[in-house]
Amino acid sequence: MPVGSVSVAAPVTTAVEEPVTTVKEVVEVRVIRFKTKMVTDSSLANGVKRVRTVGVDGARRLTYRVTYVDGVQTSKKLVRQEVAKEPRSQVNVVGTKVEEPESSSGCDPNYSGCVPIASDVDCAGGSGNGPEYVQGPIRVIGSDVYRLDADHDGIACE
């Protein structure tokens, strides 16, 4: 540089880039779990369990407005939600029917010996009209359902 000359620096310009903002709608689907109901059924044996109606999960659709600045998420706002598919409850059934124990021998368990199970039983040789008859004496060990113990002493058809 020659003597007496002045050097002037050129101004430095830096480019400032504006941030890029992007807004998108994003849809998310969430599961709605089915509920379970327990009901009783008097036609099923006591304690028996069954599924009457199988449960089905539902779905909820959530729509968000999401803002990105230079590719980085800066906000997320829920703008709409709707049930896309209703869940169906599962119905479980439990039986309550009490089974009467049946006598495998055909004899009434209220009497010792064998008093047949019938619409009516009378003492043989008595004034009853049956249709079944029994020879005594017979001990009453439960309820005297056929009224065979006339004097209520626990011994029938004596």
**AA letter at 121:** V
Q: Residue 149 is encoded by which pair of tokens?
A: 């113990």
25 and 89 both lie in a single domain: yes
Report d(CA 80, CA 63) in Å as an integer: 5
3-state secondary structure of 89: coil
pLDDT at 1 (0 to 100):
52
Count of the separate structural domains present in the chain? 2
What range does the domain containing 92 cover? 21-97
In-domain check, residue 151: yes
Q: Residue 156 is encoded by which pair of tokens?
A: 């029938």
Report d(CA 94, CA 51) in Å as an integer: 9
3-state secondary structure of 127: coil
pLDDT at 152 (0 to 100):
87
Pairing of β 36-45 and β 90-97: parallel
In-domain check, residue 125: yes
pLDDT in tens, the chain (158 residues): 555 666 666 666 667 789 999 999 999 999 999 999 999 999 888 889 999 999 999 999 999 999 999 999 999 999 999 999 999 999 999 999 886 655 457 888 888 888 888 888 888 877 777 788 888 888 988 889 888 888 889 898 88
pLDDT at 23 (0 to 100):
96
Query: For residue 138, how far is the Cα from the chain centroid?
Result: 51
28 and 54 both lie in a single domain: yes
pTM score, two decimals? 0.48
Write down the H helix ranges in the chain.
Answer: none
